[in-house]
Amino acid sequence: MKYTVMIPAAGSGQRMGAGFNKLFLTLGEKPIFIHTLKVFEADPFCAGIILAVKNEEKQEIEAYLKQFDISKVQAIVEGGTERQYSVAACLEAYLEDGIVLVHDAARPFIRRAVIHSLVQEAAAHGAAITGVKAKDTMKLAPAGIVEETVNRDYLWIVQTPQAFQYEILKKASDKAIADHFLGTDESMLVERTGHPVRVVEGTYDNVKMTTQEDLAIGEILLKRVQQEENT
Ligand code: CTP
Ligand code: MG
């Protein structure tokens, strides 16, 4: 089943503390976002990529796309001040009515098998997200005092990609913007329209490169991926 992926890459990487967009930091020999794009470039089911970037970084990003032979980028749009607005800009640039995936440029270790399960689920039910089960004991402690130990079986640590039938996400995104509602993921926007969102079990290694520690983990994960590719 074909899909188009929207990749927000217009952040500033504050928590990484590099002083520039963290996506330009390298893992192995490639910038983080190139690793992410390569996954989709190599997936025959991926029909195209829509990228949201900052205007001032567009040229540099285009040069990297050329250098690393990324050919599936159909549109590069200007990102917004919040991730949600960057995704909204991508949605404006999509002119079909198929399955769209939203995936953070900062998650280079997404696996093709997870992408495909997600796309299938979204094709069947309209909206699907990927996540992993919490490994630790989870407690609710709003004021620093434990109120409750939450049943771990019900809790999911949610990641991207998230997949939707285009119209479902577009309507949810338009409504959120009209309502001045800011969500932390696309699912939140769809949830508030009442459309059910299915969870697909993903992998723990789909980490988002957010802080310095993640880079160290990223280097290890990259070696593992490269070993898998060579066997
Ligand atoms: N993103 C975006 N537009 C924004 C903010 C974020 O396109 N206005 C993108 C980032 O580039 C990243 C993804 O959304 O690929 C996930 O965001 P996050 O990990 O929070 O990245 P940053 O916002 O760059 O980092 P920070 O929050 O630490 O500043
Ligand atoms: Mg951010």
Could you tell me the CATH number of the domain that includes residue 34? 3.90.550.10
CB 127 within 8 A of CB 168: yes
- Tell me the longest C-alpha to C-alpha distance in the chain: 53
Ligand 1 pocket: which of 5, 87, 104 to mutate (most atoms within 8 A of CB): 104
Q: Domain tally for the chain?
A: 1
- Ligand 1 centre to CA of 148 (Å) is 32
Nearest ligand 1 atom to alpha carbon 15: 28
Q: Facing residues of 6 across strands?
A: 50, 102
Q: Is residue 138 part of a domain?
A: no
* Residue 141 is assigned to a structural domain of this protein: no
Q: How far apart are CA 172 and CA 196, in angstroms?
A: 12
- 173 belongs to a structural domain: yes
What are 88's two structure tokens? 């909204």
Is 24 inside a domain boundary? Answer: yes
Has residue 136 been placed in a domain?
A: no
Q: What is the pLDDT along the chain (231 residues), one digit of tens a residue?
A: 999 999 999 999 999 999 999 999 999 999 999 999 999 999 999 999 999 999 999 999 999 999 999 999 999 999 999 999 999 999 999 989 999 999 999 999 999 999 999 999 999 999 999 999 999 999 999 999 999 999 998 999 999 999 999 999 999 999 999 999 999 999 999 999 999 999 999 999 999 999 999 999 999 999 999 999 898
Name the region of 13 (left: φ>0; alpha: ψ -120 to 50; beta: rest): left
Q: What pLDDT is recorded for position 231?
A: 86
Cα three-residue angle 184-188-192, rounded to 5 degrees? 145
* Residue 142 located in a structural domain: no
Tell me the CB-side half-sphere exposure of residue 51, using CA atoms within 13 A.
27
Residues lining ligand 1, Cβ inside 6 A: 8-15, 22-23, 52, 79-83, 86, 104-106, 208, 210
Closest by CA to 101, choosing from 37, 189, 199, 169, is 169
ipTM score:
0.99
Residue 152 domain flag: no
Q: Are 40 and 119 in contact (CB under 8 A)?
A: no
Other C-beta atoms within 10 Å of 89: how many? 20
In a domain, 137, yes or no: no
Residues with CB under 5 A from ligand 2 (ion): 11
The parent domain of residue 10 ranges over 3-130+158-230
Q: What gap in Å lies between CA 137 and CA 37, rounded to an integer? A: 35
